[in-house]
Amino acid sequence: MKIPNLESLYQDELKDAYDFEHQILEALPQMAEAAHNEEVRQAFQEHQRQTEGQVERLEQVFRLLGQKPGRKHCDGMEGLIEEGEEILEAEGDEAAIDAALIAAAQRVEHYEIAAYGTLRTYARTLGYDDQAELLQQTLDEEGETDELLTQLAESGLNQQAAGKGQNKGQGKGGQQARGGNGSAGSEKTKEELYEEAKRQGVEGRSKMDKQELERAVGS
């Protein structure tokens, strides 16, 4: 493999991203079908629609470069997806299987976050500000999806998988199980606070903890 300059590396990484997004598009419907929890299923379905938009953004970046979209097979994503495929045939506790699906999806998200963060930085360095903006939009979406998956896991799914939940999202005594810390049902969950922050356009929300989200939205 030869890397003559940053421009060449940038274009090569774009082709890698274009390929792994197509791999993800093929895998997401299977993950949605395998999910037992409706919120988890909906999250995978929504991310499929989101990924379709991310593919279109990459095609726009290629056009800005005066090139046709191209694919370079991404071995890293192939390996992550193959690991996830083992879960699709799993048998056992439904909540535990959904927790495993979320874990597999987050490994994919973290791979994408690293890839798009690198691409955005390369674009800025090369003076492609319009391309950097497109890549930043995708990077923001990946961060939000990763945060949503974390919220789904912490809102009671992990506790159910551990045999500690009674009902969906509920702990003992009717308290909501969020990361193992129950609180009054009238208090907003971290997921609800995050959605409110999203509606208000709060920046950096994907990195905030529950207390920071409460302050940010004035709750």
* Residues 6+ away with beta carbon under 8 Å from 67: 11
Question: Do residues 80 and 101 lie in contact, with contact meaning Cβ atoms separated by under 8 Å?
Answer: no
Q: What is the pLDDT of residue 217?
A: 80
- Quick one: tokens of 162? 């551990």
The pLDDT value recorded for residue 198 is 75
Residue ranges, the chain, pLDDT below 70: 164-187, 190-191, 206-207, 209, 219
pLDDT tens digits for range 140-198: 999 999 999 999 888 778 788 887 544 444 333 333 333 333 333 336 776 677 777 77
Q: Which of 198, 62, 215, 189 is nearest to 140 (CA)?
A: 198
- The most distant pair of C-alpha atoms in the chain lies apart, rounded to whole Å, by 64
Collect contacts of 28-37 with beta carbons under 8 A, ≥24 apart: 30/85, 30/88, 31/84, 31/88, 31/101, 31/104, 31/105, 34/87, 34/88, 34/97, 34/101, 35/98, 35/101, 36/94, 36/95, 36/97, 36/98, 37/94, 37/95, 37/98, 37/152, 37/157, 37/168
pTM of the predicted protein model: 0.72
